Amino acid sequence: MTKVEFQSFIKSFLLFFISLSSILLGSMFFDYKNKINLFDNQILLEMRMCNYNSKYCDNFNVYFIKNGQSKSIYSLHKTNQDLVSYYPISDKFNDVMKIEMKKNIYIKIVNGIFEDYLTYLFLILGGIFFLSLSFSFYALRPLKEALTITNEFIKDFLHDFNTPISSLRLNISMLKRKNGESKEIIRSENAIENILRLQEHLKSYLNKTEMKKSIFSLNEILNENISVLEKTYHNVQIKNNIDKNIMINTNLDMFHRILLNLLTNACKYNVIDKPIVEIYFNNNILEIKNKSVGIKNIKKIFNRFYKEQERGIGIGLHIVDKLVKEINIEIKVESNKNEFTTFYLNLKNIIN
């Protein structure tokens, strides 16, 4: 079961189980209250019968008291110690009959009723649990079928993708031999390499392979990305201000994609006048700063397809957000219009 399928299963199960359990608990609570009320009425009825015939007084204590000491007659009174009702003896006498049930007897009977309800509750909850499991597995089937079809389609697509890529690489190689190396050829080769990286990452995701970690230099991976971007954004000045060699222990491909997306955005969304991108490293925090046009809504920039400029499709930072979560990196953003936009990557969890 994949992560998406597991999340869907848990949500379906909890929704079904909690809904039915809530209805059950509410119904049983009101039924329990009604049961107690019926039991109280039964006790009051037995007390009235005791008032007329002593053979019904086995569960009660009977006293005769002055009328002035009694409460309202013919009704049940609950105190902290007992249950009592009062009945007049005769119009000629000032005394009244006090019929009493000890509260410990009452509590014992009520606890018995409660235990019965508790037993029924657990039995029914067990049935709802297995019913919820069955419902969740049944609800999961269409999702699993859809994901299977999608995965098979993507795998076929990736397989067929190799043919045009191979053709492009062959043609670029022929052009290089014929015309020599040029900026256009280098850009095309870099673009193909990026496509192959994306392809491998997608294959790894589809095949559910374990994320492989490796130890590499932060400076080296930064300089590799900078060299690629300088050929595309030759008017942007990219400054790597990291002096020391910091070693990173994480998935190289994912980290490369995070940096490439952030640096590409920093180059792309720069001010026209003296565009510059600066990179710093302080206290395990990697800073990527550019002379920015500004971000209006920082809270939305990681949302899929959200964009504030005409360029792009609004998916790059969404990919970054997914990747940093996967390799346990914290990311924060600060932005001021026509000043600087800075992305902060907390690398403390992946520094070797």
- pLDDT score, position 344: 92
- Both 112 and 216 in a single domain? no
Looking at the domain assignment, is residue 270 inside a domain? Answer: yes
Evaluate whether 275 touches 336 at the Cβ level (below 8 Å).
no
Q: Which of 112, 139, 166 is the last residue of a domain?
A: 139
User: Left, alpha or beta for 141 (phi > 0: left; psi -120 to 50: alpha)?
Assistant: alpha
| Inter-residue contact 220 to 248 (CB < 8 Å) | no
Asked if residue 219 and residue 134 are part of one domain, the reply reads no
Grouping H, G, I as helix, E, B as strand and the rest as coil, residue 62 is strand
Judge whether 164 lies within some domain. no
Residue 210: per-residue pLDDT = 54
Q: Is residue 174 part of a domain?
A: no
Check residue 319 and give its pLDDT: 80
Same domain, 131 and 223: no
Claim to verify: residue 130 and residue 251 sit in the same structural domain = no
> 309: helix, coil or strand?
coil
For the chain, which residues score pLDDT lower than 70? 1-4, 67-71, 81, 90-93, 194, 197-198, 200-211, 272, 306, 308-314, 338, 352
Residue 178 lies in a domain: no
* pLDDT at position 201: 60
Number of domains in the chain: 2
Is 31 a member of any domain? yes
Identify the domain containing residue 230 by its residue range.
212-346
- Residue 117: the pLDDT is 87
Crossing angle of helices 183-206 and 218-232, in 10° steps, is 130
**Residue 179 CA: distances (Å) to CA of 98, 164, 166, 171, 237:** 117, 22, 20, 12, 29
Q: 131: which residues sit within 8 A by CB, 6+ positions away?
A: 16, 20
Is 169 inside a domain boundary?
no
Domain presence at residue 306: yes
Instruction: Let me know whether 129 and 217 are in one domain.
Output: no
Query: Measured between alpha carbons, how far is 290 from 282 in angstroms, rounded to an integer?
Result: 17
Domain annotation covers residue 252: yes
Which CATH number fits the domain that encloses residue 271? 3.30.565.10
Last residue of a domain, one of 139, 159, 194: 139
Q: Which of 89, 124, 139 is the last residue of a domain?
A: 139
Task: Based on the fold, state whether residues 226 and 331 are members of the same structural domain.
Answer: yes
DSSP state of 270: B
Instruction: Say if residue 111 is in the same domain as residue 227.
Output: no
125 and 39 in a single domain? The answer is: yes
